[in-house]
Structure formats: structure tokens, C-alpha cells
Amino acid sequence: MQTYYLAVDIGASSGRHILGHVENGRMLLEEIYRFDNTQIRQNGHDCWNLPALRQHILTGMKQCRLLGKVPVSLGIDTWAVDYVLLNEKKELLGDAVAYRDKRTAGMEKYAEALVKPQELYARTGIQKQPFNTLYQLLAQKREHPEQLHQAAHFVMLPEYFNFCLTGKLQNEYTNATSTGLVNAHTKTWDAQLLFQFGLPEKIFGSLAVPGTCVGSLTEEVQQQVGFNCTVVLPATHDTGSAFLAVPTKDEHSVFISSGTWSLLGVENSEPVTTEASRKANFTNEGGAWYRFRYLKNIMGLWMIQSIRRELNGVSYVQKNGSQSSNTGKKWSFDELAAAAEASDYCGIVDVDDERFLAPESMTAAVQEVCRTSGQPAPETVNDIMRCVYRSLAACYADSIHQLQQLAQKDYSSIYIVGGGCKDAYLNQLTADAAGLPVFAGPVEGTALGNLMVQMIAAGEYCSLREARAAVCSSFKIQCFAPVQEKRSYTRIKEGVCL
Ligand code: LFR
């Protein structure tokens, strides 16, 4: 009789239910349900479709029952920063606005007038991104002051889904740090910052750490899914889970969690909140066991996904139920990589450019950024893809270089986990651009990290070190050696064809 654990891992574009169990020390995973995560336009904003996501969570759970593989526990992780507010009766106030929505425009300036960026970073260690929860809360306060007034609970999305399953409200530490409102040194909400930003301290609940049990399923949910189990907190921020699953204990490795975003960095035992670090916009996100993920957000596969959606005539925000407007060719990711490989286009863009965050058309944005940086705009699919691929690899290499300078340390390998590690072409470009070997896998890094915390909480492994060692022996890791001489970062950054 096996003991099963269930990871519900929801990303910005799709979600999955992965069952895991341990056999002779090895971890075995089984994907039992997968679904698309499509945003909806609501009250003038791009929003997450909470009822649909909740339904998908339940449908995947029912699948466990159908398969006769009922988990002893489940954990939910999602992307970070997004939240909802609940009133005293624990009812939703307003919508779950999605982080790429434009409501935060102008909020950074407003926040800077209240707290100097230097002070904010010294206290929280969190990077400046227009979508940070802090700016979202300030935008909500401007548009709907009554919602903040009525709010009794600030709840991040995995916590909201846990609440739907258990009826229990519990804030979680790793995701909370992504709000930009948790003090990196005290590891709890920064009351002084909340006061300075005019946010009500009472709505921010105590922070539980990964491994904490939230509760059992409510009677109603038990009836719907046909079983009971414990809901456990993993690192509910997906990147927090993904980093746990990196199969190395090498102190000289750089990690990349590759999905909609590419999160590139290392794990530290203390936050780095120096001015040099702030200027490089490296972030110190809280992790399980109070480890810090010191990393940079890189635009990532979002650029490739967006171009693919455009070519295939699909929108990432559902408008009036419309789906595909293209009845012609549908591009797969493999075809797009092959297209890039077939081109000799030389231009390169800075993928950190905010114009790539939520453009109407990613293709047009790439062309515009090329033009405004004095390079010919790529016109064909091949050239556009080549530009994006090389720009991503260049940014990875550049960020590793920055990391080396900030940490005063040399790095000798790159570990890539997550869906993006299946992209052999990008892995090879990355190895070449950085002049370092790339180790790719496991693909289901986030779900695996989620499961590892549940398994450690249940006593299957006695430490993260032991669980990581089990990842090494359980999954195939592919190596990409650099085949070209190490390239100069500045030359890549300047967009010179190498
Ligand atoms: C990745 C991720 C990143 C976070 C971004 C927005 O899925 O969680 O870590 O910066 O999404 O939440």
C-alpha cells in the first residue's frame, strides 16, 4: 500500500495535479490532471478566474479517487504577488486582479514619495517590479478605498484556495515575502512600512512556514471529491518550491527556474540588502527553512509563449468568450525553436525592458525595441524567434556575471528546472553564452519541491539535503556543455553578432 502526496501546482498559463510517492528511497511522480489558466476581463481589469481555478482544483482531486490513489496530504502553490481581500464574514471584496494588469501604473512613484527606495530595499530586500503586491495594494486603495476599509483579511491566492478546501485562513511566509512588505531580517510583516504606506496592519495574519498543516477538507469538499486528507503548506510561492528541487548541493551552481518567468539566482542563508544589490535589482525572496533565494526575474518563456499565442491567434485574456481567430498553421514550441535555429539574425534586445511585460503584441514589442536600439527589426518568424532566444541566453549570461560580481564568487555550472528546461536549443545557447555547463531537469521542479516539503513533513525524508539527494537519483538530468568559447558579456549586451 503506497502513501501518496498531491501537489497542485498552478502557473500563470496552466496548472497541474501531480501525485508523488516514494519507493525504495526514489521519488515517483504521476501527472493526473492538467488545465489551462486563462484570465478574464472584469470591471476594467485583467483578472484571475477564481471559480474556474477552484473547480479545476476539485476536478483534479476527484481524479485521485477515480485512480484509487488517495493522497494523505496535498499542497497548493501558485505564482507570487497576487492576492484577494476578504471581509469580516470571509467574503471576497473585489476581484483577483492579475499582476500584469495595468492598475499599478504610477504607483512606484507614489510609493517612493512615502518611503525611499533605499530604505524599502534595506528593510525588505525585495526587487522593484511594477507588479509587486505593495503597488497593487496602493492601486486598489486609490481605486477602491472602501475595499481596504472593509477588509479583515489579506489572502494570497494559494491561501485563498486552501481556505476554499479547509475553511481555514492561514498566511504563509515564502509567498508573503513577495509582497515587498515583509522585513527580511525579522521575517515577519514590517509594521512600520505598513504604517508608512497607510495599509491596515490588522489584515495581515501571522506567517506560517512551509510544512505547517492548515487543516482537513471541509465536509462539503469531502463529499465533492470523495475523500479526506490534510492540506499542508508547501513553499506556496512556486519559485520557492522550484528552487528546493534543484538537484545539487554544489555551492558554485547558479539555479534557473524556467517557466513563464526565468528566475536566476542562488540560495543564501542571509539576505543581501546592499545598495549594489538594490541597483542590480536582485531580490531576496524568503524560502522554506528561512533560506533566501537571491535572484533576478528574467522575462523568460513569457516572450516565446506570447509570440506563439499571437501566431496561433489566441489571447491570454479571454474576451467575450472568444478563443482562436486563426484557422491556419498552429505553431508548436519545438517548431519555434527550430525556426530560431534556421535564422542568422544578429540583433538582440534587453529582455528586462518593461515594454515586454504585457504588450498588446510581443512581436511588435520586439521589433520596436530593436528599432529604438538602432538595430534592424526582425520581420520573419525565424528572425523574431532567433532574436528572442539569443536575447534570453545573453540575459542569463549577463545576470550570472552580475551575480559573480555581487557575491565576489565564481560560479561553475547552471542548473535549470521547470518546463523551460525541455528547450534543448535554449539550454545550449545558455551554455554557450555563459561558457558554463548546463544541467537540465527535473521538468516538474515546482511540483516536486511542493511534494518534497510534504514528504519531509510526513517523515519520508529527514531533511532537505536527503530529499535533494533523492531527486538526484530519481530523475534524469541532461547536460549541455558549452561548445563555443566563452563570449564577452558586454559584446552580447551591445547586440553585436558573435
Ligand atoms: C514565477 C513567479 C515569480 C514571480 C512572478 C510573479 O511563476 O512566481 O517568482 O516574480 O511569478 O508572481
Q: If 0-12 CB within 10 Å is exposed, 13-18 middle and 19+ buried, where does residue 450 land? A: buried
Do 200 and 189 touch, CB atoms closer than 8 A? no
Could you report the per-residue pLDDT of 369-408, keeping only the tens digit for each? 999 999 999 999 999 999 999 999 999 999 999 999 999 9
Could you report the per-residue pLDDT of 406-415, keeping only the tens digit for each? 999 999 999 9
The residue behind cell 489566441 is 314
Please state whether beta strands 283-286 and 292-298 pair in parallel, antiparallel, or not at all (unpaired): antiparallel
- Confidence (pLDDT) at 56: 98
C-alpha cell at 333: 514550441
Active site residue 383: no
Helix/strand/coil percent split, the chain, to 5 = 40, 20, 40
The response to whether residue 366 sits with its C-beta less than 6 Å from ligand 1 reads no
pTM (global) more than 0.90 = yes
Give me the DSSP letters along 250-307. Answer: -TTEEEEEESSSEEEEEEESS----HHHHHTT-EEEE-GGG-EEEEEEE-TTHHHHHH
Which of 37, 81, 126, 356 has most ligand 1 atoms within 8 Å of CB, for mutation? 81
Output the CA 80–ligand 1 centroid distance in Å. 5
CA atoms within 13 A on the CB side of 420: 31
- Confidence (pLDDT) at 316: 76
| Global ipTM | 0.99
Rounded to whole angstroms, how far apart are CA atoms 451 and 4? 10
Return the ∠ at Cα 182 (arms to 180 and 183), rounded to 5°.
115
Could you report the per-residue pLDDT of 52-62, keeping only the tens digit for each? 999 999 999 99
Mean pLDDT of 304-320: 86
CA atoms within 13 A on the CB side of 398: 23
- Confidence (pLDDT) at 1: 85
Output the CA 498–ligand 1 centroid distance in Å. 32
The response to whether residue 157 sits with its C-beta less than 6 Å from ligand 1 reads no
Q: Is the per-residue pLDDT at 484 higher than 70?
A: no
- Give me the domains of the chain, ranges plus CATH numbers: 4-232 (3.30.420.40), 246-441+461-498 (3.30.420.40)
DSSP 102: G
Q: Is the per-residue pLDDT at 225 higher than 80?
A: yes
Could you report the per-residue pLDDT of 445-469, keeping only the tens digit for each? 999 999 999 999 999 999 999 999 9
The response to whether residue 238 sits with its C-beta less than 6 Å from ligand 1 reads yes
Mean pLDDT of 174-184: 98
